[in-house]
Amino acid sequence: MTNIRFDNKVAVITGAGNGLGKSHALFLASRGAKVVVNDLGGTVAGTGGSRAVADAVVEEIIAAGGEAVANYDTVATEEGGQRVIQTALDTFGTVDILINNAGNVRDKSFAKMDLDDFRSLIDVHLMGAVYCTHAAWPIMREKSFGRVVMTTSSAGLYGNHGHTNYGTAKMALIGLMNSLKEEGRRYNITVNAIAPIALTRMSEPATTPQYAPLMKPEFVTAAVAWLCAPDNTDSGHIIQAGAGYYAKIEVREAAGVLFDTETTPQPDQIRERYTEITDMGEAAPYENASAVIRKVFKMVKPKG
């Protein structure tokens, strides 16, 4: 079996100073990628900063014979996101791979949450991915090659107490991915998402010592590296990964119920058939929004 390699590929990884991002950076560099290690060097809440964090990862890559450069910009501003990608252009001449990994946490129940803490997570997780991807997108389109990975979370996909800001940002990334996968298709740009199960600075407070040794970031990196591989053309996939477990996650829609198209149903009729409406026994995923519309109008019989 031939090893997946990233020779002559330039990878930008945000939040790569610790945890998952560091693991991704070290692995891709070990397989030949030239890596931009972006990290603000701040706290898990996203405050403060230190260049030493990104520098240490770069030094480790170079010591192992790889190529890397540090970037210390925040991804929470458009200018910062542009500078992250510009670092790749200035140092290595292009960008082929973008792993949107940067994040922060400020956990509280919604009733007690300061909305500045809500906005902060939207700015870093969601808008950080938007800013960096928007800056890299024209380059990838021009060269007809790109691999973009979003970092989502089961907290967004399924919900979690005290994670309204985090979960909202993480679920929004799936909407971003779903649209970009369509826009990137003709340009050989894939856009996928990873839902990690890993021990990091963010997850450590909620991880029991019993399971901590099983939650190595490297388990997640294996799936991320495959999503970034030049020969992987799958796009729009959400992959749960961690502790040796890997699974695709899909948004699915029930078979549905068709009422009379000539008369608007009453809520009483919706109530009567709600069990059928919510029956997921014959649920199916759809490639895009157009596929759902096509399904509906195949069922509907227009008059005349």
- 3-class SS of residue 179: helix
CB atoms within 10 A of CB 284: 13
Q: Kindly name the residue from 158, 166, 211, 274 that is annotated as catalytic.
A: 166
Please, what's the b/e burial string for 211-234 (b: 16 or more CB within 10 A of its CB; e: otherwise)? Answer: eeeebebebbbebbbbbbbbeeee
Residue 124, classified by CB atoms within 10 Å of its CB into exposed (0-12), middle (13-18) or buried (19+), is buried
The verdict on whether 166 is a catalytic residue reads yes
- Parallel, antiparallel or unpaired: strands 238-242 and 189-196: parallel
Name the nearest CA neighbour of 70 among 121, 17, 107, 21. Answer: 17
SS3 readout for 72-105: CCCCCCHHHHHHHHHHHHHHHCCCCEEEECCCCC
The catalytic site residues sit at 166
